[in-house]
Structure 1
């Protein structure tokens, strides 16, 4: 019986054409990370369940992919009619696929604290998994590119991450980028004044959905969570504020809120003085970032021409390492969503021309003797950094030329008896269609 060739929902294969474009994005992002002094690390795809659970809120916890214990795991469980799926999960699974890169990074910092020099600037480019409903721009397996600075509370770090975001999207030639900024302390102060601090996490999760569900649905959900009419009225006042300076009056009764305003003003004022290359920094009171561990400034990057959601996001977290036994280690980070960046670049035609080309030169194959002769010339080209290949068999020339054309090869080199004797090669320009005879050394000089 044959097996149907298929991938699980939300998982994808990537063709060479797609990978050339993805690798281009990776190289630009990696270059920016290293320019800003970040060092690379990697963590395992699988973490202990206790490492991940309880860090992303109830909604995030539901999206963690659990990994079944190996062996006959069911024989070791005691189930009865009153057992819930949650009870059973704890008994049959104690590992999970990582949901993001930040929590594993916090675990890494605690585990390796004696070998790390603080403040520690790290970048990480690895896959993460979420048991989400697949849709445009949302997958169950996707790659994140994170940069974090841990071991300092300085707001210089937030300024650097704004500049880093600007650097990445400018280098990718993506126009109309908006870096939205808010502060969780401001949201804390807002919820205090709304009179329901105990509902903070619920309110933030609902507020985070504002763009998707609209203000009326947000008010409806907040009301069902127990927020009073007076509280919703306070919320509306905050949502109507478009400038950081407007928040001071609203938050004068909240020390936490005032601290958040000060932090926002510091970052915003310094970015205004320094300037950004192409992006715009914008205060957005509706920005909430529904993940539990954020405590200070939060960011979200959007491209305003393509309706796909955020292409990057992050923020300050003060207490994340404390859950692993290391207190008073503050960090701030940002994560770039490669899949959404790819979709934006494809829609706006931002990729460089000839990005699919990985072979500049192809040697046509005229037979055993000629192909062996070509190998020496290939070696010279490759030693000079010129990508080249030899067609492996001496099939009809039409087939070889079709292969070269489909691969986007610039030049086809033809070596027959005459060329072998004259030490000249015949070169066909695949774009112009003309041919010339030239020495290999002259050809290398021409290509460099």
Structure 2
């Protein structure tokens, strides 16, 4: 008996209706990317391992899917390494490539390789799948799409301001009013680590802090202690876990805390500049909120960092995020190229729109017109009509066989077709076609020689 087929955990098949909804989100995001002047690129689904490894921190490295070398790769491993059963030493000998973890590091590699062809500042967008060996759960998959926009070659805070506006424009267009764009700065986090005496444990501090919304304050404190951060240092940082007040109030509190940290004060100045400009420009439906616990645990961020949460009442993780990286290209040999970018979480946005019922009803309609098939002669006339309708941009098809009328009408209902066309022998003799409105049952007759009369009613 054949084995029942399955797919790997954390991956999904998508039905036509689901693909239509995903394409709706992608097209909305793409439209705004292009309005803001971003250009599209694409990179390979897998990279050399050395391109990816070491760029995301220890936790990120563990989530990278490695690809086994082709051929008899085991025979090339020496006996000592093989018998040690140590994955860290074995992996580099049997795997030289890996599936991309995100789109940012491949983009940095792209910039370095194509630097002589690029006009800086370079604004690119990229919409492609990425893979992470994460534990699957609601809104978290092992294969998922990222929709990224980045600017490299410009240090101006104007870029950060535009990204806040871009987030607002996309989510407003999708109907996600009330989304919150959280903002912080890695320099502020560096300053905090400095003043609490944990400067040498900055990465451990930020990785733990980034989990506040997942494991809570006590969980964060426990992880910090386990990483070697002292109880005294944690106590000094504790007020940050629930800092009250408006953005301006929080900035003033941070100034008091970080007054003796040059890097911390530099981060505050950047945050103040962004908040001031956004206040002057205004947002359509989102709100910008300072969150000093926002860390985004990726090592390459150096300045402003962003994370977007769905409207209140929707239980979902972040639906977007990003930040400033001052020297990401430096890891590939191109120094002093600052960049900043954001990403939209397609799969989570999908789930939020589904939960809130925000997808347009028209997405359920895969065709506009179905011609009923009454036989060879009638179906030929239907094909000729369908060709003309398609020329006008109408999605139309002819049922492939002259099955019973009941079966063909059921097919039309299942496909949510708004109009059914009937060309039987009588209509063929008279040079007509009958259009049935499936919503109200009304029928209207048009001349086969003038299908434009029907098109004008759509």
TM over 0.5: yes
* Other-structure match for 1:289: 296
The Cα offsets for residues 6-36 of structure 1, whole Å up to 9 and x where unpaired, read as: 0011111101111111011011000010010
Alpha-carbon deviation of 1:435?
Answer: 1.5
Matches within 5 A, 1:226-305: 226-242=228-244, 243-303=250-310, 304-305=312-313
Listed as ranges, the gaps of 5+ residues in structure 1 are: none
* Other-structure match for 1:363: 371
SS in 1 for 2:456: helix
SS in 2 for 1:399: helix
Matches within 5 A, 1:344-423: 344-423=352-431
Match of residue 338, structure 1, among 346, 360, 375:
346
Q: Choose 238-247 or 66-75, whichever is displaced more.
A: 238-247
In structure 2, the CA distance between the partners of 1:418 and 1:321, relative to structure 1 (3 Å rule), is: same
**How far apart are the structure 1 equivalents of 2:25 and 2:293?**
29
The Cα offsets for residues 338-375 of structure 1, whole Å up to 9 and x where unpaired, read as: 00000000001111113110211111000001111111
**How far apart are the structure 1 equivalents of 2:297 and 2:406?**
58
Are the equivalent residues in 2 in contact too, given 1:79–1:88 (CA < 8 A)? no
Q: Choose 249-258 or 83-92, whichever is displaced more.
A: 83-92
1:9 corresponds to 2:9: yes
- Matched length: 447
Alpha-carbon deviation of 1:241?
Answer: 2.9
Alpha-carbon deviation of 1:83?
Answer: 4.9
Alpha-carbon deviation of 1:238?
Answer: 2.9
**How far apart are the structure 1 equivalents of 2:134 and 2:161?**
32
The Cα offsets for residues 69-97 of structure 1, whole Å up to 9 and x where unpaired, read as: 00000001113343511111010001000
* Other-structure match for 1:319: 327
* Other-structure match for 2:452: 441
**How far apart are the structure 1 equivalents of 2:119 and 2:430?**
62
**How far apart are the structure 2 equivalents of 1:411 and 1:310?**
41
Match of residue 151, structure 1, among 149, 153, 160:
153
Alpha-carbon deviation of 1:444?
Answer: 1.6
* Other-structure match for 1:208: 210
Alpha-carbon deviation of 1:142?
Answer: 0.3
**How far apart are the structure 2 equivalents of 1:83 and 1:364?**
65
Are the equivalent residues in 1 in contact too, given 2:432–2:445 (CA < 8 A)? yes
**How far apart are the structure 2 equivalents of 1:253 and 1:275?**
33
The Cα offsets for residues 126-173 of structure 1, whole Å up to 9 and x where unpaired, read as: 000000111111110000000001111110000000000001100000
* Other-structure match for 1:70: 70
Alpha-carbon deviation of 1:217?
Answer: 1.6
Alpha-carbon deviation of 1:425?
Answer: 1.1
Are the equivalent residues in 2 in contact too, given 1:22–1:342 (CA < 8 A)? yes
Matches within 5 A, 1:162-201: 162-201=164-203
Structure 1 moving runs of 4+ over 6 Å:
none
SS in 1 for 2:314: coil
Are the equivalent residues in 2 in contact too, given 1:190–1:238 (CA < 8 A)? no
In structure 2, the CA distance between the partners of 1:25 and 1:416, relative to structure 1 (3 Å rule), is: same
Matches within 5 A, 1:48-59: 48-59=48-59
SS in 2 for 1:301: strand
The Cα offsets for residues 279-313 of structure 1, whole Å up to 9 and x where unpaired, read as: 00000011000000000000000012211110000
Alpha-carbon deviation of 1:101?
Answer: 0.2
The two structures have a TM-score, normalised by structure 2, of 0.96
User: What's the RMSD between the two structures over aligned residues?
Assistant: 1.0
Q: Choose 329-338 or 369-378, whichever is displaced more.
A: 369-378
